[in-house]
Every structure is written in C-alpha cells, then in structure tokens.
Amino acid sequence: MPGNVPITHYLFLSTALFTLGVIGVLARRNIVIILMSIELILNAVNINLVAFSRHLASVSGQAFAVFIIADAAAEAAVGLGIIIAMFRNRGTIQADELDLLKW
C-alpha cells in the first residue's frame, strides 16, 4: 500500500505544531510548560526531517531525526535540572516572577 499523502500535508502539520509551540513559549508562564512547548517545536522539526527523508528516498533525514531526539533528551534533562535548582533557590517556577535581572 504505497502512501499517497503529498508532502505539503506533512509540512502544514509541522507548521501548525511549530506555531503552537511558539505560542506556548511566548504565552505561558509556567516554565515546565514552556519546556514542553520547546519539545513540541523539536517534534515539528522531526516531522519535516522524516517526511523529506521519504520524499527524497534518502535515510539521512532519519539519521538526523535520531540526533534531534538525542538532543531533546539532553535538553530536557538539563532544563528540568535548571528548573529544580531555580525552584530551590527562588521558590517559584512562574517565568514572570523570576525578575532578578529586571531593572
């Protein structure tokens, strides 16, 4: 059963997820949710890579998707570590209450 979904469909899905992730980063105040939105953006990148891997009949895109997933795991580990340290020092995880550098 050969797939017959045009690549534009995958690109539109990726665009939609990317835009939703950007909204999350900009609009939410809970840092954990901001980090989740970043994961959403990375997933949008992965859809593009895998769709183009199929489109161009080359496995390189999937190899890059593996790298992106590894980076996402590293980013989540460090990001959540920073959040825990921040919570321990400041007692809050709301982005707008972390205004130490604000003049």
Partner 1 sequence: MDKVLFLIFAGIAVGAAANLLRSRHPIHSALSLIGVMGALAVLYLLLGAEFIAAVQVIVYAGAIMVLFVFTIMLLNAGAEVPTSGSMLARYLGIPLLALLLLQLVRLLLGQYPPDQASSFGTFVGPTEKIGRLLFTQYLLPFEVTSVLILVAVMGAVVLAGRKP
Q: How far is the CB of 96 from partner 1 (least distance, A)?
A: 8
Q: Is 98 in the site for partner 1 (CB under 8 A)?
A: no
- CB nearer to partner 1: give 23 or 103: 23
CA–CA gap between residue 69 and residue 75 (Å, rounded): 10
- CB nearer to partner 1: give 3 or 103: 3
Q: Is 87 in the site for partner 1 (CB under 8 A)?
A: yes
CA–CA gap between residue 71 and residue 103 (Å, rounded): 34
Q: Is 4 in the site for partner 1 (CB under 8 A)?
A: yes
DSSP per residue, 11-28: HHHHHHHHHHHHHHHHH-
Q: How far apart are the first and last CA of the chain?
A: 61
- Within residues 35-74, the interface with partner 1 by CB under 8 A covers 35-37, 39-40, 43, 46-47, 50-51, 53-55, 57, 59-60, 62-63, 65-67, 69-74
